[in-house]
Amino acid sequence: MSQEIAVIGSPEFTTGFRLAGVREFENVPADQKDEQLDAAVERVLEDDDVGIIVMHDDDMEYLSRPQRKAVETSVEPTLVTLGGGAGSGGLRGQIKRAIGIDLMEDED
C-alpha cells in the first residue's frame, strides 16, 4: 500500500506542505502551468510510493483532458483538491471514491 503524500502546484502552495513534512512535491511556477503541469502530474502518478496527490482546485483547469481524467478516475493514488470550488461535497465525493463507501449518512 502506497503511503506517501505528494503535493503538486506553485511553490507558494507546496511550501506549507513541505514545512509540515511532506517530502514528495512538484513545484510548477504559475506562469508555466500550461507547459509543465501535465508532466508533473504524470511523474507523480507513476510513483508507486505515492498514495495521495494534493493539488489546488484551480490548477485542474490547466490539465489536459486526458491527464485530468487520469487523476479524477485514479483510485491509487487518490487526488484531493483544496481551495477554489472544492467544497465539502467535493471532498466527500473524493473520500467516497477513495474508500468505496460514504462515511457520512444523510440525516433526515
Q: Which three cell numbers stand for residue 42?
A: 504524470
Closest CA to 46 of 93, 98, 2, 91: 2
The DSSP code for 19 is H
Confidence class of residue 95 from pLDDT cuts 50, 70 and 90? low
Model confidence, pTM: 0.76
Q: Any idea what the CATH number is for the domain that residue 59 is in?
A: 3.40.50.10580
What is the number of structural domains in the chain? 1
In a domain, 31, yes or no: yes
pLDDT category at 87 given cuts 50, 70, 90 is very low
- Would you say 18 and 65 are in contact if contact means Cβ atoms under 8 Å apart? no
Distance separating alpha carbons of residues 22 and 47, to the nearest angstrom: 15
pLDDT value of residue 72:
87
Q: In the structure grid, which three cell numbers stand for residue 33, read together? A: 502551468
